[in-house]
Every structure is written in C-alpha cells, then in structure tokens.
Chain A
Amino acid sequence: MERTLSTPRLIRRLLLAVVAMFGFGFALVPIYDVMCKALGINGKTAGSAYEGRQQVDETRQVRVQFLATNAAGMSWDFHPKADQLEVRPGASNEMLFVAYNPTDRPMTAQAIPSVAPAEAAAYFHKTECFCFSQQVLQPGERIEMPVRFIVDRELPGDVFHLTLAYTLFDVTARHPPVAQAPRTGATKENPNG
C-alpha cells in the first residue's frame, strides 16, 4: 500500500488548496498586469509620468497617430488638435486634446490610453498626461489638455507608426464632481505641474 494521509488531514489540505486557488484567481490580476508590461499584451501604458531623459535619434522618424473616442454615454466633444505627428525617437513632443462639456451639469471624465501596436506600448513614454487623473468640466466648459511624450530610442526597427488612442469615459456617477466655481483656463491636475 502507498502511504496515505488520514482523511481529516487530506481534507484539510484539499480545502487549503481550494482557498489557495481562490486567492490565485485574484492573484492573476497583478500577474496579468506584470505580464502585460513585460510582453506588451494589451497596449496599456504606464499610469504615471516617465522621468527619464533620452538623446534624440536624428536618423529615424516615427509616425504617431492620435485617436479620441467617446465611450458609450459620454457626450463631451473630445478630439486631438491634429491627427498625427512625425516624431524622432528620444525627442519630447506635445499634443493637445480638446474637451468640451455641452451638458447642463458638471461631469467627471476619465481618459484611458491605449497604444497600438501593443508591443510598442512599452516604448511609448508619457512625461505628462491628462489621463493620469480625472477631469472635471463644468457645464459649457472647454479645456485643452496636453499629453507630452517620448518615443523610446529602443523602439524596435520594424515599428514605423504608433497609435495613441484615448477613450473618454463618463465616471460622474462614481466620482461626483466636487461643487466648485466654474474654472476658466486650460490644463489642470498635471502630476508634473
């Protein structure tokens, strides 16, 4: 006969395995994030500002396209000021996005960036982005929001174009805008000031 565990001990171990696997299900969330970053699976970019500095690569040009899409239920006017830029790897660039709240109530929005091809997401560094925080617009308010970015010098040679796509979600229900006087002016809440 093989050596066996007594039934109560066996059951304890199995229950432990069940609990561990339940936990593993949740652990898949951070594991997935790490895998996405390492392999560039879903085109997500970093959620905070890139601090590095790079030398400009004058020998190469990359086309960066900008897309702005409203998620369902979002009624803001939201678009980039230009469709695309030709940039040099390593150089710092800026693009302005316009947002306008046409409704009669204050609203909170969150922009979610995504980069295609997904494998290039790791080489796209945002030094400043309106997507790092939520945007509150008063009724009828219009702002211009900058994104500053560097395309990494290490960008693989077979990538000729990058697409930076923002989807704007209405998160007013979850994050009601704090009552405040309508602000005039442009950018705000940029982590890098």
Chain B
Amino acid sequence: MTRHPSAWMSFLLWLPFETVQAAWTVNMAPGATATSRSVFDLHMTIFWICVAIGVVVFSVMIWSMILHRRSTGQQPAHFHEHTLVEVAWTVVPLVILVVMAIPATRTLIQIYDPSESELDVQVTGYQWKWHYKYLGQDVEFFSNLATPIEQIHNQADKDDHYLLEVDQPLVVPVGTKVRFLITATDVIHSWWVPALAVKKDAIPGFINESWTRIDKPGIYRGQCTELCGKDHGFMPVVVEAKSKEDFAAWLADKKAEVAKLKELTDKEWTREELVARGDKVYHTTCAACHQPEGQGLPPMFPALKGSKIVTGPKEKHLSTVFHGVPGTAMAAFGKQLSEVDLAAVITYERNAWGNNDGDMVTPKDVLALKQAEEK
C-alpha cells in the first residue's frame, strides 16, 4: 500500500509500474451466478465478432494505405459504385446481427425469469447509503461506507477494499433465489453488483425487481451507478453470500442484536463513553453532509459548529435529529439509528468542535421520546 501522497511525485516515479498491487484488469469477470456467466459469454461472443469485423475492415484500409499511396506511383482508379458489392455489405451485416441477436435474446429471457423466490430483500437507496430489509424477517439495517475519511483525504494508507467496504453488508444464502425489490427515497440511484450481473435503478416512488442465485460463498462488491449527488462515488454495495446454515445463524444473530441494543439502552452511560461512540457514528452517518469538522457545506448542508440547534436546548436538538427537517436534505434518523447511537451522536455534536454544551443526551432520553410518540 505504498501510495505516495503527491500525485506529481508518483507521476515522476512512474509509480504504476513499480507497485505490486498493480491491477491491469482489462476485462469483465465471469462472476458468481449462472446469469453473470451467460452475460459474460455473450459479451465475449459479441466482442470477438467485432474484433473479426474490425480485422477485416482495418486490414483492407491499411493495405490500401500502404500500397495505394501516390508515392508508390499508384494511378487512381475511377470506380465509384458497384451495386452487387453494396447490396452484399448491407445484407451480410444484417445476417451477423441476427447471429448476435439470438444469444442476446436467450440471455435476456433468462434474466427476466419470473419464477418464485425463496428470500425477498427490499433495497432502498438513500443519499448516500443503502438500506436493506429482509421481508417477513423483521431484520433491516443501513449499509454505510466504512472507509475512514483519512484514507479518502490521503492522510492514511488506503486498504484493498478502499471505497468498496461497508459497515454492514447485505448477507444472503447461496443456492437460493433471492429477489430484490429496489426503490429509493430521494433521487434515482442504481444498485449494481458486477459479480451477480444485477444492475437496476432505484427510483423514488417506484419499485423495480431483480433477482440472483449465487453459487458459492464469498463477498461481492459493487457501487451505485446512477449519479445521485455529491457522494455518488461513496455508496458501495457489498453482498456477502453465506452457506444456508451460516445464513440462518447470521439471521438469528441479527435478531438477537435487537435485544442486545435494548440492553445498551438500559446501561448507564457516561458522557465520555457517549462522545467516543458518537464520534464513530458521526463520521459514518453525518460527516458526508455536515463535514468532519462540523463546518457543513452551506447553503445545502448547514454547519453544526456553533449552530443554534446544537448549542441550544437538547430537546430541540434530539427532536431535529430524530424527525429530520422536512423540505431539506436532513433526514429523520429516529428510524435509522438505535437509541444508543442517537444519544451518542447528539452528545458528540454538543461537545465537539468547541460546542462546549457540557451536557449529554442519554439513550433513555431517546427511548422516552420514542415511547411518548408511540402512545
């Protein structure tokens, strides 16, 4: 991981040829599903047909460029049409196209297979993270970029999965038809995992479907592929395929986690503990808009440093984070974060960057608000 901080330095050193990590990948990978393999085969078929046509056309051209130069004493011919030839080069490409269309149609029909699925996951795009909900399982969570901001700003070495790592991947069982129901809450996103050959737009107000059946366990990485605003490049998709047994265990764990979180809520927290936890939550969830130092990006994303809400009464601060601010980019985090994380991040904001409020919001405060509203 020896990336030099200076772009020019590496330019001079011609870094790409030095590093071992050099990845000169030039082609699509066959992927991990039957669909991705047939798409790959189709891609290669079309590619080689194009290469063959290119070789013929370019050979004729280059032949002519070498042999039919004036400097070789070539006298120009005068022909300027030939019906038979012209008909031929209209019909032959048509035939080639039909040859291409047959496997393409077959693959497309395979992808549009409507058969029944065994597991359904709702995938929801947010600016700028994904939310996964296992239908009928009571399990749902957000999946945030896990790459530390220091790596992005070149203050730390970048790891192998730089920008392609998340805090909680989507976990699915292998050998199971998993259906994705894809939508978005704000702008259009697109959910893409190259190894599964699944790419579908997530459109606010509309639901799209797609599916996959993964052969072998592994971690498959992708990204949002539809420009969705500032952090479009920072909302990766990570899918972890586990064996059916491991998946069942994971699902049980996940359900147990809900209980565990409840325990955390009941625990007595000190301000320092909350600030430490809130630091992490802030940088995963809030820093993209409000910036690592709380300076914001006005006018879209207001500063938190010295902000009226953050330095004002804590009830208003909690309610703002919990409910969001309608009509702005500020989302309601009441559903997105646990009580502990809400309390932690608010306590952090109230005590960071010279916002020395000196007070704290406890998980129980958050729980109280939640319960008051559910009555």
Contact indicator A43/B207 (Cβ below 8 Å): yes
A116 interface contact, C-beta 8 A: yes
Name the one of B127, B181, B329 contacting A116, with C-beta atoms under 8 angstroms.
B181
Number of interface residues of A (CB under 8 A): 39
What are the interface flags for A76-106 relative to B under an 8 Å C-beta threshold, 1 for contact and 0 otherwise? Answer: 0100000110000000000000001011100
Name A166-180 residues within 8 Å CB distance of B: 167, 169-170, 172-173
Contact indicator B181/A67 (Cβ below 8 Å): yes
Name the one of B205, B326, B329 contacting A170, with C-beta atoms under 8 angstroms.
B326
What residues on B are CB-neighbors of A170 within 8 Å?
A: 326-327
B93 interface contact, C-beta 8 A: no
A37 interface contact, C-beta 8 A: no
Name the one of A63, A107, A140 contacting B373, with C-beta atoms under 8 angstroms.
A140
What residues on A are CB-neighbors of B186 within 8 Å?
A: 71-72
Contact indicator A116/B209 (Cβ below 8 Å): yes
Q: How far is the CA of A92 from the CA of B135 in the complex (A)?
A: 23
Contact indicator A167/B204 (Cβ below 8 Å): yes
Q: How far is the CA of A100 from the CA of B136 in the complex (A)?
A: 22
A137 interface contact, C-beta 8 A: no
A159 interface contact, C-beta 8 A: yes
Contact indicator B331/A73 (Cβ below 8 Å): yes
Contact indicator A100/B373 (Cβ below 8 Å): yes
What residues on B are CB-neighbors of A161 within 8 Å?
A: 116-117
B122 interface contact, C-beta 8 A: yes
Q: How far is the CA of A115 from the CA of B209 in the complex (A)?
A: 10
What residues on B are CB-neighbors of A43 within 8 Å?
A: 206-208
What residues on B are CB-neighbors of A69 within 8 Å?
A: 122, 124, 183, 185
Contact indicator B204/A83 (Cβ below 8 Å): no
Main secondary structure of the interface of B (DSSP, over half): loop
A114 interface contact, C-beta 8 A: yes
A163 interface contact, C-beta 8 A: yes
A133 interface contact, C-beta 8 A: no
Contact indicator A114/B323 (Cβ below 8 Å): no
Name B281-324 residues within 8 Å CB distance of A: 319, 322-324
A72 and B185 in contact, given A67-B122, A158-B114, A173-B327 (Cβ under 8 angstroms)? yes
Name B99-130 residues within 8 Å CB distance of A: 114-117, 120, 122, 124, 126-127
Residue among B135, B326, B330, B331 with the highest chain A CB neighbour number at 10 A: B326
Q: How far is the CA of A38 from the CA of B177 in the complex (A)?
A: 30
Contact indicator B205/A167 (Cβ below 8 Å): yes
Q: How far is the CA of A16 from the CA of B182 in the complex (A)?
A: 43
A114 and B326 in contact, given A73-B331, A75-B334 (Cβ under 8 angstroms)? no
B324 to chain A: closest residue by CB: A75
Residue among B186, B206, B328 with the highest chain A CB neighbour number at 10 A: B206
A42 interface contact, C-beta 8 A: yes
B332 interface contact, C-beta 8 A: yes
Q: How far is the CA of A160 from the CA of B135 in the complex (A)?
A: 16
A74 and B124 in contact, given A83-B135, A114-B206 (Cβ under 8 angstroms)? no
Contact indicator B114/A117 (Cβ below 8 Å): yes
Residue among A102, A112, A140 with the highest chain B CB neighbour number at 10 A: A102
Contact indicator A112/B205 (Cβ below 8 Å): yes
A163 and B205 in contact, given A72-B127, A83-B136 (Cβ under 8 angstroms)? no
What residues on A are CB-neighbors of B325 within 8 Å?
A: 73
Name the one of B115, B127, B205, B373 contacting A160, with C-beta atoms under 8 angstroms.
B115
Q: How far is the CA of A104 from the CA of B369 in the complex (A)?
A: 13
Q: How far is the CA of A71 from the CA of B331 in the complex (A)?
A: 9
Name the one of B116, B185, B209 contacting A117, with C-beta atoms under 8 angstroms.
B209
What residues on A are CB-neighbors of B181 within 8 Å?
A: 65, 67, 116, 163, 165
How far is the CB of A59 from the nearest CB of chain B, in Å?
A: 17
Q: How far is the CA of A77 from the CA of B124 in the complex (A)?
A: 17
A134 interface contact, C-beta 8 A: no
Contact indicator B207/A163 (Cβ below 8 Å): yes
B122 to chain A: closest residue by CB: A67
Name A138-175 residues within 8 Å CB distance of B: 140, 158-161, 163, 165, 167, 169-170, 172-173
Subset of 6 A-B contacts with CB under 8 Å: A65-B135, A72-B126, A72-B186, A73-B330, A100-B373, A172-B326
A-side residues, CB < 8 A to B, are 42-44, 63, 65, 67, 69-75, 77, 83-84, 100, 102-104, 107, 112, 114-118, 140, 158-161, 163, 165, 167, 169-170, 172-173
B-side residues, CB < 8 A to A, are 114-117, 120, 122, 124, 126-127, 135-136, 181, 183, 185-186, 204-209, 319, 322-332, 334-335, 373-374
